[in-house]
A and B are shown apart, each in its own frame.
Chain A
Amino acid sequence: MTATYVVGVDGSDASHRALAFAKRQASLVGDDCSLLLVCVVEWSPYKFQTHEENARRTKQKQEEIKIATERVIEPLLQELKAEGIKAEGKVVHGKAAAVLNNAAVEANAEQIFVARSADHGLSARVFGSVTAQLVMSANVPVTVVS
């Protein structure tokens, strides 16, 4: 039986802790378990933009993906490869909770691992943090690492 774990990563210490925990869980499953690292670039299609921003959006998106891939995904994939853990990674634009859940559904993943959200302030109090939204809406089990 194969298993895929989705791990939300953003380069922060907290997301490293989530990845470390996911690695331990994956090692318990054995060689048939692979990790899917997902780095989310926060993006809303309902955000107001200027003309200049619109005209350069495609270029900007490409740059954002390139930076996130180079700085977040690739170093982690190399680290996992060295440790003999099968892993893939991708950078996706959108709302973090929805993106992580969609990635898990598409990959037929067993579980999602994320760090406890650092969201604070009025917005998080009213709408809930990213982690809270994910826990409440995910189609698969979610492990939140503090």
Chain B
Amino acid sequence: MFKNYIQAAVVALLTFGSSMLFASEGLDEAVNAIFASSTGWFVSLIFAPIPGTSFPWIVLWLVVGASVFTLYFGFVQFRSIGHSISLVKGDYSNPNDAGEVSHFQALTTALSGTVGLGNIAGVAVAIGIGGPGAIFWMILAGLLGMASKFTECTLAVKYRNEYKDGSVSGGPMYYITKGFAERGIPGGKILAVLFAVFCILGALGGGNMFQANQAHAQLSGVFGDYPGWVTGLIFAGIVFAVIVGGIKSIANVTEKVVPFMAILYVGTAIIILAMNADKIGWAFGQIFEGAFTGLGVAGGMVGALIQGFKRAAFSNEAGVGSAAIAHSAVQTKEPITEGFVSLLEPFIDTVVICTMTALVIIITGQLMFDAQQGVYLLGDSGHIQTIGDTSGVALTSAAFGSAVGWFPYLLVIAVVLFAFSTMLSWSYYGLKAWTYLFGEGKNTELAFKLIFCVFVVIGAAANLGPVIDFSDAAIFAMAVVNIIGLYFLMPIVKRELTSYNARLKSGEIKKTK
């Protein structure tokens, strides 16, 4: 029976792929037109600027949320970072829990979904539009976002579903439903359903089509221009083999290779920075000066701020609720411990990796700077002019390539692997939202997985601006629902934090090694 499903799915994918071959342009236009007309209002609503400014309200929503959590929990991200590292090292792990999911594993699995294109392409986009000053705001957003992540991941563990067979499901849809019910607040179920719907859309869009699209852009840059559906079909085939066929080895290899890619990426950045150690002070000077003056970028300080905050949100997903699904699998009797561990995620993703990328771009002199005027030179599009007229991944690649000649080739592999890893993560997040809405079950899950595979092909095959816009909007819409939930449930986290800190101080909770 199951084999029949797989055969049917393969046939469907192949049929779809061949139809793309013959009618891809027509299909692109049709999909664009449908999305633009039916979802344009939603995209406009999510990214609408605050009246009288060019500042999108959704970015302010995320930053205000992160600031509220930072203040409410007394700057927990700065006071507890040492304890977070101890927890990841396993200093407080119960030896009887050996064989269960450790804090380290929950953190690295969640990171595999967040470290990716945002760290490579997103930073380059932020600098290209907002200048080096955008990085200041990106780092600030990352630091504040640590408190959002702390809040959502604590709740995700506290209110997860643990089934009789030992498997677990958690995330915003569960903590919003259970937490609201526990506090006697109405509307939890509606918010949870809304979150699940946005999560599915975000998974198919930003977590799938966008990744496939960018991976194809990278591959076609190396192998020459070729139809996107080819990349799409290959990717869909591999994703299909992993999520439907259950071929764990591919996922396992990906999950093992990606962390080493990330280490190699950061390691190379450190070497480049060491080679240009004398310019690091100047680069930070540009970042600080640009943060408050803009150094000539479009929109000045506000332009830099918007880009920094926006790209940080895309990169570390703090407040979005996606990572809460990943962190919920950890084995612990104290939900707050996973909150402590999860706050390292935005730090690693944004404060460390994104800053590395930014420093390399600035130090290698990719951005054209008018030293006499003290401003960056802008092109017709309003973006900063770069050597070789590059942007996005190409800008990062050029920056690394100028110092380490072979690195662009490695970057292509890294981008493709990061994209694939992010797709696998989001297929899981989307699936959890799907099963929340439609129930657990083989057929229900298979339906989502097949839809997910088809969207890989669509994403890689076409330059679907409105579709990508809608996907971005869906991911941010997740944050709208999630942060509303967090506001109502943060007293529960506060109670957990106070109790845990008291027991830690009294020695009731102590190191096990």
Contact = CB atoms under 8 A, between A and B. Distances in A.
Interface of A: 41, 43, 45-62, 64-65, 92-94, 99, 102
B255 A48 contact: yes
Interface stretch (B69-77, B160-168, B283-291): B160-168
B106 A54 contact: yes
A48 B254 CA distance: 10
Contact of A45 (B105, B109, B428): B105
A48 B98 contact: no
Top 3 A-B pairs, shortest CB-CB distance: A93-B99, A59-B166, A45-B102
13 contacts: A41-B99, A43-B99, A46-B104, A48-B108, A50-B255, A51-B425, A54-B330, A56-B166, A59-B166, A59-B167, A61-B99, A64-B99, A94-B99
Interface string B52-75: 000000000000000000000000
A129 B483 CA distance: 50
A12 to B, nearest CB: 21
A55 B99 contact: no
B10 interface: no
B109 A50 contact: yes
B334 interface: no
Interface in B246-302: 248, 251-252, 255-256, 259
Which of B98, B106, B167, B168 has the most CB atoms of chain A within a 10 A radius of its CB? B98
A46 B424 contact: no
Interface in B153-203: 165-169
B120 interface: no
B248 A57 contact: no
B397 interface: no
Given A48-B108, A49-B109, A55 B329 contact: yes
B99 A49 contact: no
B105 A54 contact: yes
B471 interface: no
Contacts of B112: 48
Given A41-B99, A52-B251, A92-B98, 19 more contacts: A45-B93, A48-B108, A48-B109, A49-B108, A50-B109, A50-B252, A51-B326, A51-B428, A52-B428, A54-B101, A55-B169, A56-B166, A56-B167, A57-B101, A58-B101, A59-B165, A93-B98, A94-B95, A94-B98
A52 B329 CA distance: 9
Contact of A51 (B104, B166, B259, B424): B424
Nearest to B330: A54
Interface residues of B, number: 33
A102 B95 CA distance: 10
B166 A43 contact: no
Nearest to A51: B428
Contacts of B252: 50
Contacts of B259: 48
Contacts of B101: 49, 54, 57-58
A38 B373 CA distance: 74
Nearest to B108: A48
Contacts of B49: none
B255 A43 contact: no
B331 interface: yes
Contacts of B102: 45-46
B138 to A, nearest CB: 27
Interface string B93-130: 10100111111111011001000000000000000000
A59 to B, nearest CB: 3
A55 B165 CA distance: 11
Contacts of A99: 98
Contacts of A52: 248, 251, 428
Contacts of A102: 95
Contacts of B256: 48
A51 B98 contact: no
Contact of B109 (A41, A54, A56): A54
B329 A51 contact: yes
A46, A52, A60, A62, most chain B CB atoms within 10 A: A52
Contacts of A54: 101, 105-106, 109, 326, 329-330
Nearest to A49: B105
Contacts of B105: 45-49, 54
B331 A57 contact: yes
A50 B243 CA distance: 11
A79 to B, nearest CB: 26
Contacts of B167: 55-56, 58-59
Interface in B74-95: 90, 93, 95
